[in-house]
Amino acid sequence: MVVNSINFLLFFVVVFIVYYLPINRKYPKFQNIWLFLVSYFFYGFADWRMIPLLLGATIVFYGIGLWLKNEMVRGHYKTASHITTFGVLLGICILLYFKYLNFFADSFAQLLNAIGFNVSWTTLNIVLPIGVSFFTFKLISYIIEIHREHIDDCKSFLEFGTYIAFFPTILSGPIDRPNKFIPQLKIRHAFDYSLATDGSRQVLWGMFTKMCIADNFASCIDNVWQAPANVNSITLIAISLLYPLQMYADFDGYSNMAIGIGKILGFKVTQNFNHPFISRNIAEYWRNWHMSLTNWLTDYVFSPLNIAFRNLQNLGIILAILLNFILIGLWHGANWTFAVFGLYHGLLYIPLILSGTFGKKKKLKANDYGLPKVKDISKMLLTYLMVAFGLIIFKAPSLSEAFNFLRYIISNISTLDTSVNTYIRPITYLFLAILIIVEWVKRKEEHPLQFTNSYFLKHRVVRWFVYYAIVMAIVLYQGLSNSFIYFQF
């Protein structure tokens, strides 16, 4: 049940009506009980077999949180540290088992066979739970934040369980932190018209970018990747340059829908993107791309490593960055392509670290014509090219296929396209142009359809024309793909 489907619309209408029933005024816990139940129904609709895992992990980590806080209150800080380590390792073990066990076992068996040992390994039939990378990081951060004394343990299992399973974000994020989300579950949410309308606009924009841009690019890009040997160099380059925009329109589209749905229900969900393709270097890009994941790993991986390596000065920062980005890559899945993808992005930081510009944040300003300065445009384009190159590794099923794709770009200059039996509708490029323009014009807004600071969109006639145009674009020009790229992670 994807969020841009009729099934989800019907599901959410029921959720919305019951959520705001007058009964919740008399029974404050009613909304959380309802959210807990519908979140598990939603997750079970995706894969009912994984409900015991989600519920079991939630119960265990809820208990660990109570145990940890109790030991801290009693002054048993050494025991508390051991409990925290246990909780973090347990979360990591969940990820290792479901996402990486077969990968590491296969890799180890291949290594032994390569050096002369005859090893046979039968791949286990392990089902990858959808959303496991997202809810596991929530569980781990909850334990760490208690240990750091940033939050108290959550006494209500209902509140904790709803935080972990919150249906708009459980399948593909954003990854909310407990100190920001759990307090929102402690209050009754009356219907907030302004927040709900803003959320509806954000959902509409997310549907537009996902269905009219990402889905229209998906078929052609995937088709080329199935047989790149038969495609000429120009097409391969074009596909490589379009893929970052497809991924952005897809993932940012989902994030906007999730955040918007949260707003309709009275919640403020963590922002996940902040116009990443107007970034002028790779550090800016990662500060603005998949922000909930980047910030999570910065706080819990990079910062501790940076402190541990501080005596090594720049070398220590480089080591911390490289390890952090290898983990960012591997978070996406059990494949050496993701590890190399992460290593590649870590290496791109080295010039910034050595030049002393790694941590500097320079405000982006427009010229007299309201456009980016030429110098900034050149930096944006260079950053985009670096990202596009890295996503070739990310997209490839294996390192050898990534290498072959790059080789075909160089060698297939005169090759005729024989594998592309789909094409991208011309109007999709118009939608893409709108996205690029809007990204710049509305760069200071949380999402493009916010009109609080926009003179243009404050006029009701203009606003409703924009809404109508977007709805008609979705109805008439939506693509064929209906899956989200990040559901696989």
Residue, of 477 and 162, whose pLDDT is higher: 162
Cβ-contact 306, 349 below 8 angstroms: no
Q: What is the pLDDT of residues 453-467, one digit of tens each?
A: 555 666 778 888 889
Is it the case that residue 112 has pLDDT exceeding 60? no
Is it the case that residue 121 has pLDDT exceeding 60? no
Across 325-386, the runs of DSSP E, i.e. the strands, are none
- Among left, alpha and beta (phi > 0; psi -120 to 50; other), residue 193 is alpha
Work out the number of other CB atoms within 10 angstroms of the CB of residue 440.
16
pLDDT band at 110 (very low <50, low <70, confident <90, very high): low
Is it the case that residue 434 has pLDDT exceeding 60? yes
Within 13 Å, how many C-alpha atoms sit on residue 150's CB side?
12
Residue type, 355: S
**pLDDT score recorded for residue 337:** 94
Among 20-29, 329-338, 357-366, name the most confident range. 329-338
**pLDDT score recorded for residue 386:** 97
Is it the case that residue 451 has pLDDT exceeding 90? no
Is it the case that residue 104 has pLDDT exceeding 90? no
Work out the number of other CB atoms within 10 angstroms of the CB of residue 17.
9
List CB contacts of 404: < 8 A, sequence separation 6 or more: 228, 229
Question: CA-to-CA distance for 230 and 411, rounded, in angstroms?
Answer: 11
Across 105-195, the runs of DSSP E, i.e. the strands, are none
Question: CA-to-CA distance for 447 and 439, rounded, in angstroms?
Answer: 9
Question: CA-to-CA distance for 115 and 283, rounded, in angstroms?
Answer: 40
Work out the number of other CB atoms within 10 angstroms of the CB of residue 218.
24
Is it the case that residue 115 has pLDDT exceeding 90? no
**pLDDT score recorded for residue 213:** 94
Cβ-contact 406, 400 below 8 angstroms: no
Cβ-contact 229, 406 below 8 angstroms: no
Least confident of 99-108, 206-215, 355-364: 99-108
Residue 389 tokens read as: 């190159």
Question: CA-to-CA distance for 423 and 231, rounded, in angstroms?
Answer: 13
Is it the case that residue 114 has pLDDT exceeding 70? no
Least confident of 24-28, 72-76, 118-122, 281-285: 118-122
Question: CA-to-CA distance for 367 and 119, rounded, in angstroms?
Answer: 64
- DSSP β-bridge partners for residue 366: 372
- DSSP β-bridge partners for residue 307: none
Which candidate, 344, 333, 441, places its Cα nearest to that of 385?
A: 344
- DSSP β-bridge partners for residue 372: 366
Residue 412 tokens read as: 């297939």
**pTM for the whole structure:** 0.92
Query: Domain segments of the chain: what residues?
Result: 18-190, 195-280+409-488
Cβ-contact 322, 346 below 8 angstroms: yes
Which candidate, 32, 21, 414, places its Cα nearest to that of 187?
A: 32
**pLDDT score recorded for residue 397:** 92
pLDDT band at 162 (very low <50, low <70, confident <90, very high): very high
Name the average pLDDT for the chain.
88
Is it the case that residue 75 has pLDDT exceeding 70? yes
List CB contacts of 174: < 8 A, sequence separation 6 or more: 255, 258, 259, 269, 270, 271, 272, 291, 292
Is it the case that residue 122 has pLDDT exceeding 60? no
The size of the chain, in residues, is 489
What are the CA-CA distances from residue 478 to residues 466, 474, 481 (Å)?
17, 5, 9
Question: CA-to-CA distance for 322 and 223, rounded, in angstroms?
Answer: 33
Is it the case that residue 488 has pLDDT exceeding 80? no
pLDDT band at 129 (very low <50, low <70, confident <90, very high): confident
Which candidate, 57, 149, 159, places its Cα nearest to that of 98?
A: 57
pLDDT band at 70 (very low <50, low <70, confident <90, very high): very high
